[in-house]
Every structure is written in structure tokens, then in C-alpha cells.
Amino acid sequence: MKPFTYTRAETVADAVAALAASPQAQFLAGGTNLVDLMKYEVARPDAIIDINPLPLGAIEDLPDGGLRIGALASNSAVAYDERVQLRFPLLSSAILAGASPQLRNAATTGGNLLQRTRCAYFYDPSTPCNKREPGSGCAAIGGLTRMHAILGASDKCIAVHPSDMCVALAALDATVEVVGPDSARDIAFGDFHRLPGDMPHRDNTLEPGELVTGIRLEANHFAGHYTYLKLRDRLSYAFALVSVAAAMEIADGQILDLRVALGGVAHKPWRDPLAEAEFAGAPVEDETFQKVAERLLLEARGHGGNDFKIPLARKAIVRALRQAASGTPQSQTIKAIQ
């Protein structure tokens, strides 16, 4: 690990000012991704600003039935919070599908949003990577692409965002609260992460010096019809090949509101709200689910080693929509898929 200086921030204003004063610095929360990246010297901050003392750990009720989750609330605290389990079970389920209990105890909400891709080439400084070193090229393209993107990739980067939690937050239209050197602002979840385009080194739309302080969730009617279905190379403790967060509101056998977010397939949690809207009023049946899958994967493209993800995603979407429709969400303990 490259040596660095260490400071502890006691207030949000201090943290943001410390980062502004030292542009090569990085905030440290749970450390489950950043410390690992520093060991590989993929991340080489010259200063670490420890934000763990900040008062951002609470999960608070909002007046409209929503919740505000502080950026430092641990993944475990969120997943097992009774209000989250009752009102946003999709979020709880997605968190419990990811990582391990030890990692979830340490990892934070803000850190989960900001975790970097697990693309093996990004992690290996002996290979070119436009995300790690802009302009150096992409070793994944033409390389081993089993874990890589089938949607929204560019000729500069085919990495995927690794989070499960964020796939649920995308489906739930969460809002990200950030504080910068001059002002605070909200970012719609769909606008937070970005596609690689020509700037794959930018994972998200945060401006320099901005700190994620929390997530807001609005009340919804999805608690009866949701699922998080994650497919991976082993049953637990592995990143998704494909995952699906599905939620729907149903009336008289018809879809009123449909949400489908995909994980493991793109540089960001993948959603297509315009496509979802096309299915308002569609009958809740397998034929509709097949059409949703076809529609969402219309522009999917494989890179050889990940071609299998396209039919896998198609089947996963259908299964997930079936689970959501029937009110039988995927168990994150017993992994057999019904």
C-alpha cells in the first residue's frame, strides 16, 4: 500500500473542506472496497479522510412513509431494519444477496454506491484499463469477458457495476443526497451512475469534492409484488452474472406500474423506464413477461465470453416477473429458483 496521511473528519463541512484542500485525497468509510483497491495500488490516494465519525448512520422515517438512510448506515443495519423489511423488502433482499455477513457489517450505504467494478483487468495494473488509467486501452475487449457488460458498453470499457443494493435502489427510484464544497443537492438514482462512453474513469456524476450523505426512498406499493433474483457462479458470496430487481403494482390482473432493474449487465444498474411504461395495462401473464424481457434486451450485445448472459438475462427477467407477480420473492437463503 502506498503511504498516505490520515485525518479524521468530525463534521460534513470538515470532510468536504479536507477533500477540497487535497484533491488526491479519498474519503474512507467501511473500507471494504477502497482498502482492497489500495492494496493492489489501483487506488493510490495521498491522503485518507476518515468519515466514520460523521453523524450519518441513522435510518429515519420521512413524513410521507418514506425513509432516509444515512450514508454511513451499514449494509447489515439497512437489510435488517424492520421498516426496510416491511416497506422496502426489495432493498433488504438485494443487500442480503450480496457479499458476506462480515462485509455487510463493515460496508456502508454510501460506499456501496461508490464501489468500483470488479473487472479483473481494472484490478490488474499490468494490463491496460481506461477506467484505471484513462487512454491506456481496454484489455477486457478481446479478453476474458465472462463477467462483462451486455448493455450500454462502449469501445472504451465493458465493465459492470458490481452492486446488488444499487439494483434495488434503481428499481425503487431512490434519491441520492450529496454535499459539496459550496452546496448540497439531490441526484435521482438513475442519474447517479453513468455509462462508460468516452470517460469510463468516471463511474458516477458526483462533482469533485462532493460527499454522499444519504439516500431517500419514497413510499411505494411494491411490498407485495417484488423479487431480487441473482444468478452467479456459486450460490453465495459471489458477484452477479445477471441479477434482476423486479417490482410491480397489480390491479384486476393488469400491470399498473412495472419496475425492472438489472445488475451484472452494464456499467450502471440497468433500467429503461420508457420500456417499462409500455407495459402499463398489460395482463399479468407469462406472455407479457416474455415481451418485457425481449424489450429490455433489444440492444443487448455480447463480447464472446459473455454471450450466454443474453439468454440468461431473458430467462431471469421472466422468472423474476413471475416471482413478483405471484408474491413469492426469491429466498436469499434457499437458492432454488421457483
Partner 1 sequence: MDTALPSRLPTCPLSLTINGTPYTLDVHPWTTLLDLLRSDLELTGTKKGCDHGQCGACTVLIDGQRMNACLKLAVTLEGAEITTVEGLGTPDRMHPVQKAFVEHDAFQCGYCTPGQICSAVGLLQEGHARTRDEIRELMSGNLCRCGAYTNIADAIEEVLESQASWREAAE
- Give me the least distance between CB of 336 and partner 1, in Å please: 11
Q: Given the complex with partner 1, which of 66 and 111 has the nearer CB atom?
A: 111
Q: Given the complex with partner 1, which of 12 and 250 has the nearer CB atom?
A: 12
**For residue 132, how many C-alpha atoms fall within 13 Å in the half-sphere facing its CB?**
26
List of residues contacting partner 1 (CB under 8 A): 1-6, 8, 28, 31-32, 35-36, 38-39, 48, 50, 52, 76, 80, 99-103, 105-106, 235-237, 332-334
- Give me the least distance between CB of 5 and partner 1, in Å please: 7
Q: Which residues are CB-neighbours of 222 under 8 A, at least 6 positions away?
A: 90, 172, 247, 248, 249, 257, 259
Beta pairing class for 47-50 and 25-28? parallel
The CA distance from 306 to 99, in Å, is: 22
- Give me the least distance between CB of 14 and partner 1, in Å please: 16
Q: Given the complex with partner 1, which of 227 and 332 has the nearer CB atom?
A: 332
Does residue 18 come out as left (phi exceeding 0), alpha (psi in the -120 to 50 range) or beta? alpha
Q: Given the complex with partner 1, which of 105 and 205 has the nearer CB atom?
A: 105
- Give me the least distance between CB of 316 and partner 1, in Å please: 20
Q: Given the complex with partner 1, which of 4 and 307 has the nearer CB atom?
A: 4
- Give me the least distance between CB of 318 and partner 1, in Å please: 25
- Give me the least distance between CB of 53 and partner 1, in Å please: 9
Q: Given the complex with partner 1, which of 103 and 312 has the nearer CB atom?
A: 103
Cα-Cα-Cα-Cα dihedral sign, residues 204, 98, 286, 308: positive
The CA distance from 195 to 198, in Å, is: 9
Q: Given the complex with partner 1, which of 219 and 235 has the nearer CB atom?
A: 235
Q: In 222-293, at which residue ranges do the beta strands (DSSP E only) sit? A: 226-231, 242-251, 254-263, 270-271
Q: Given the complex with partner 1, which of 175 and 332 has the nearer CB atom?
A: 332
- Give me the least distance between CB of 226 and partner 1, in Å please: 20
Secondary structure of residue 5 in the 3-state scheme: strand
The CA distance from 316 to 318, in Å, is: 5
- Give me the least distance between CB of 162 and partner 1, in Å please: 13
The answer to whether 111 touches 33, Cβ cutoff 8 Å, is yes
- Residue 143 buriedness (CB in 10 A; 0-12 / 13-18 / 19+): middle
Q: Which residues are CB-neighbours of 210 under 8 A, at least 6 positions away?
A: 16, 178, 179, 180
